[in-house]
């Protein structure tokens, strides 16, 4: 298949004391696609996300990111400032708890504008206009632009985090359970939003979720993790409709259907 | 325009085999397909025939790359070459589905909250058509399948089974794929809507599409099928 990967991990291993979090994991993400990483709690999926994003260093293995100039970077060999710049420009990170990403003492508009300013934008009018545009895209009313995030509901906070993350048009977004802990109706709205924004902006994403229905709706490809290993990977519908590994079969058969 | 029923094989299988290993039941292995040699040419409709449990739906899903073949080849004519779905990588399969291979299942699976019109229109916008153009075509397609305009703005989740199936058909037919897989396209439709589907299948054949279908309704089957492909249950074939 043509095209080169945007980010690749090879032979990633990591132990926390006697606990193996990752065992020889290989993973690839191509531009514009969403890869879901599923598995139960403790399977290593969030650890893998953090290792790919350069937030946690592996004991062994390498993560390579291809920048827009087609240069490969070893994510864990990068100087810290370079990695920070990457996180502010090319990359985005959506946490399950939006409070980890948002600045709660700064207005909603300020939270969105801050990412632009960190990238060098200085014109106040432009920044505010873009913040307004992004609030609209994530369906937050313009009248709330000067309100503090603490006055927002859980679903609104999550949408604000997404606006803050996507305002710089990242090429790659890491998402850790972005719909976790939300009401089902709020979750549906957020799924719809993530799906349409990711498609329209041609963003690649790595999505960690324990909810395989979310993976099915959002991701083209899926990797199933168990005890720090990827036990099965492939097209999302293929893996979920025709699971081969015993653990994937267990995972799929455990889902409640309505 | 491509003349009906040409000798271009659009889809063919060679020695296709597929079974399921159920690890939750002590590794029980159930063979479903073996030695399947199916060919579908441009402009024809092949209907799979065989009793329930013979593996008709399994074959359809394998053709679409939704089920993974155990052995054999599934050759799909894609961009003037043949690509083997049984061994193609995920991104290649997605490209084949996007341009070449359409599938209408019995179930509608969509993101909640999206209006029916957009559920259908997004098939065209994903193929580079403008929003207005896509919506106009989607409206026409839904009306043709007797989904009234007052429902177009609502998400299909609350629709009846027959309405959901017609939304699914609208999605399946609007992209005009060169190959179409239809799994019971008229199962929960009334007579008037069955007739619409029969006409749509004939139109697809006329534009040169190869169609593989599962269809239990004898009347519909006789109206669309150019030939039947018998699929005997493996136990009897063995």
Compute the nearest-CA separation of A241 from chain B (Å): 7
Higher-pLDDT residue of A193 and B200 is B200
User: Is the CB of A188 inside 8 Å of chain B's CB atoms?
Assistant: yes
Please tell me if residue B114 touches chain A, with a CB cutoff of 8 Å.
yes
Position B1 pLDDT exceeds 50: no
Compute φ and ψ for B161, nearest 5 degrees: -55, -45
> Which chain A residues are within 8 Å of B126, Cβ to Cβ?
199
Give the residue from chain B lying closest to A31, CA to CA. Answer: B91
What's residue A190's pLDDT?
A: 82
Rounded mean pLDDT of A172-181? Answer: 90
> How far is residue B167's CA from residue A5's CA, in Å, rounded to a whole number?
36
User: What is the length of chain A?
Assistant: 258
Alpha-carbon distance B90 to nearest alpha carbon in chain A (angstroms): 5
**More confident call, B188 vs B144:** B144
For residue B6, what pLDDT is reported?
Answer: 60
> What are the chain B neighbours of A250 within 8 Å (beta carbons)?
23-24
| pLDDT value of residue A198 | 86
> What residue of B is the nearest CA neighbor of A221?
B90
Q: Are A109 and A143 in contact (CB under 8 A)?
A: no
The reply to whether B25 touches chain A by the CB within 8 Å rule is no
For residue B217, what pLDDT is reported? 92
Using the Cβ of B156 and the Cβ atoms of chain A, whether some distance falls under 8 Å is answered with: no
Q: Which CATH superfamily groups domain B1-20+32-100+177-238? A: P-loop containing nucleotide triphosphate hydrolases (3.40.50.300)
Specify the 3-state DSSP secondary structure of B198. Answer: helix
Closest-CA distance, B76 to chain A, in angstroms, reads 16
Q: Look over chain A and give the mean of its residue pLDDT values, rounded to a whole number.
A: 92
CA A203/CA A127 separation, integer angstroms: 22
DSSP assignment of B66-123: SS--SEEEEEEEETTEEEETTT--HHHHHHHHHHTEEEE-SS----TT--HHHHHHHH
Q: Chain A partners of B103 at a C-beta cutoff of 8 Å? A: none
Q: Please give the helix or strand (H or E) that residue A74 lies within, else none.
A: strand A72-74
pLDDT surpassing 60 at residue A95:
yes
Which residues of A are less than 8 Å from B94 in CB distance? 220, 235
* Residue B146: Cβ-neighbour burial (10 angstroms; 0-12, 13-18, 19+): middle
Judged by a CB distance cut-off of 8 A, whether residue A195 touches chain B is yes
Residue of B nearest to A4 (CA): B91
Query: How far off is chain A from B133, nearest CA to CA, in Å?
Result: 17
**Res. B16 pLDDT band, cuts 50 70 90:** very high
Mean pLDDT of chain B: 92
Task: Give φ, ψ of A243 to 5 degrees.
Answer: -70, 140
Q: Which pairs with CB-CB distance under 8 Å and at least 24 residues apart come from A38-42? A: A38/A208, A38/A209, A38/A210, A38/A211, A38/A212, A38/A215, A38/A222, A38/A223, A38/A224, A38/A225, A38/A251, A39/A210, A39/A224, A39/A225, A39/A226, A39/A251, A40/A210, A40/A226, A40/A251, A41/A210
pLDDT tens, residue by residue, A187-215: 877 888 888 888 888 899 999 998 898 89
Candidates B17, B23, B78, partner chain A, best to mutate (most A CBs within 10 A): B23
Q: Do B66 and A249 touch (CB under 8 A)?
A: no
Give B68's contacts in chain A (Cβ within 8 Å).
234, 238, 242, 244
Give the pLDDT score at A1.
42
3-class state of residue B42 by DSSP = coil
Say whether A189 and B113 touch across the interface (CB within 8 A). yes
Distances (CA, A) of B46 to A61, A105, B214: 51, 65, 9
Section A58-63 average pLDDT? 97
Shortest distance, CA A65 to any CA of chain B (angstroms): 20
Residue B212 and residue B97: Cα distance in Å, rounded? Answer: 15
Q: Tokens at residue A183, please?
A: 């009401």
Does A221 touch chain B if contact means CB atoms closer than 8 Å?
yes
CATH T-level assignment (fold) for domain A1-90+171-258: Rossmann fold (3.40.50)
**Host H or E run for residue A227:** none
- Tokens 């999206």 — which residue? B114
Q: Is B233 a residue whose pLDDT tops 50?
A: yes
Tell me which residue in B65, B90, B114 faces A192 most closely, judged by beta carbons. B114
Does B100 score more than 50 pLDDT?
yes
Comparing alpha-carbon positions, the chain B residue that sits nearest to A213 is B111
Q: Comparing C-alpha atoms, which of A116, A154, A120, A152 is closest to residue A134?
A: A116
- Min Cα separation B117/chain A (Å): 15
Position A121 scores a pLDDT of: 84
Parse chain A into domains and list their residue ranges: 1-90+171-258, 104-169
The answer to whether residues A249 and B23 touch, using CB atoms and an 8 Å cutoff, is: yes
Contact B114 A191 (CB under 8 A): no
Q: B18, exposed or middle or buried, with CB in 10 Å at 0-12, 13-18, 19+?
A: buried
Distance CA A192, CA B79 (A): 32
Q: Tell me whether strands B45-49 and B210-214 are parallel, antiparallel or unpaired.
A: parallel
pLDDT in tens, A103-150: 999 999 999 999 899 888 888 889 999 999 999 988 899 999 999 999
Mean pLDDT calculated for residue range A22-37? 96
């Amino acid at each position: 298949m043509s095209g080169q990967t945007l980010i690749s991990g090879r032979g990633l291993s990591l132990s926390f004391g006697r606990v193996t979090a990752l065992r020889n994991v290989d993973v690839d993400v191509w531009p514009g696609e969403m890869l879901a990483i599923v598995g139960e709690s403790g399977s290593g999926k969030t650890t893998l996300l953090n290792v790919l994003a350069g937030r946690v260093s592996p004991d062994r293995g390498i993560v390579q990111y291809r920048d827009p100039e087609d240069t490969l970077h070893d994510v864990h060999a990068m100087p810290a400032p370079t990695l920070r710049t990457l996180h502010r420009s090319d990359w985005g990170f959506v946490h399950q708890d939006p409070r980890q990403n948002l600045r709660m003492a700064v207005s909603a508009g300020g939270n969105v504008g801050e990412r632009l300013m960190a990238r060098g934008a200085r014109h106040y009018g432009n920044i505010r206009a873009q913040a307004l545009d992004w609030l609209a895209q994530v369906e937050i009313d313009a009248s709330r632009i000067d309100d503090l995030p603490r006055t927002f509901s859980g679903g609104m906070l999550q949408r604000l985090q997404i606006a803050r993350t996507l305002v710089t048009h990242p090429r790659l977004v890491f998402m850790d359970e972005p719909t976790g802990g939300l009401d089902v109706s709020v979750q549906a709205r957020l799924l719809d939003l993530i799906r349409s924004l990711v498609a329209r902006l041609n963003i690649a994403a790595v999505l960690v979720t324990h909810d395989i229905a979310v993976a099915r709706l959002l991701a083209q490809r899926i990797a199933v993790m168990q005890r720090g290993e990827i036990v099965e990977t492939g097209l999302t519908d293929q893996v979920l409709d025709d699971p081969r590994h015993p653990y994937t079969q267990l995972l799929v058969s455990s889902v409640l259907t309505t | 325009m491509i003349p009906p029923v040409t000798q271009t094989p659009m889809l063919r299988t060679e020695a296709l085999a597929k079974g399921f290993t159920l690890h939750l039941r002590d590794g029980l292995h159930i063979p479903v397909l073996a030695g399947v040699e199916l060919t579908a040419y441009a402009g024809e409709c092949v209907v799979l025939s065989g009793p329930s449990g013979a593996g008709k739906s399994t074959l359809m899903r394998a053709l679409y790359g939704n089920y993974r073949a155990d052995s054999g080849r599934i050759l799909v004519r894609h961009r003037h070459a043949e690509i083997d779905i049984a061994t193609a990588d995920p991104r290649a399969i997605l490209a084949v589905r996007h341009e070449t291979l359409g599938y209408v299942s019995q179930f509608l699976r969509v993101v909640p909250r999206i209006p029916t019109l957009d559920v259908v229109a997004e098939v065209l916008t994903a193929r580079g058509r403008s929003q207005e153009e896509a919506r106009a075509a989607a409206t026409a397609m839904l009306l043709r399948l007797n989904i009234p305009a007052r429902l177009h703005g609502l998400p299909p989740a609350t629709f009846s089974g027959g309405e959901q199936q017609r939304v699914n058909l609208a999605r399946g037919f609007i992209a005009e794929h060169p190959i179409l897989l239809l799994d019971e396209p008229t199962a929960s439709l009334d007579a008037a809507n069955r007739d619409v589907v029969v006409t749509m299948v004939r139109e697809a054949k006329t534009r040169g599409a190869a169609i593989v279908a599962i269809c239990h309704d004898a009347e519909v089957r006789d109206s669309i099928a150019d030939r039947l492909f018998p699929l005997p249950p493996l136990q009897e074939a063995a």
